[in-house]
Amino acid sequence: QVQLVESGGGLVQPGGSLRLSCTASGDIYSIHAMGWYRQAEGNERDLVARITRDGTSTYADSVKGRSSVSGDNAKNSVDLQMDSLKPDDTAMYFCYALITESYAGKIGPLRNYWGRGTQVTVSS
């Protein structure tokens, strides 16, 4: 079993900044990618940013130029720095990880894992 623990959400004024962090732990053999998705009320869950183990990053068009995702392979963690925040950024943000699990010290299945979510609210 693998779990993702998120932190860093909160209330921010428009134009402000926020840094979200997520750490994976548990029966992990290797992590192939980690990132963040968000889901606003009444909307579907959409990709914000992700980063692969080799450092390749992907961003949603809505956050390009305002966000930066970084990972630490040794710590099994990912951070999302968000600047120039807008009210439309308000959503529940979910950490995501694509993980090959460890089973009895050997390679296990490949699975997607999700954090419980951390709320980001951008409002004056």
Average pLDDT per consecutive 10 residues, the chain (124 residues; last block may be shorter): 96 98 97 98 96 96 97 95 98 98 95 98 96
Residue 100: what pLDDT? 97
Let me know the angle formed at the C-alpha of 18 by 15 and 22, rounded to the nearest 5 degrees.
Answer: 155
Residue 44: what pLDDT? 96
Residue 75: what pLDDT? 95
First to last CA, the chain: 40
Residue 58: what pLDDT? 98
Residue 18: what pLDDT? 97
Residue 111: what pLDDT? 97
**35: which 2 tokens?**
């990132």
Phi, psi of 49 (to 5 degrees): -160, 150
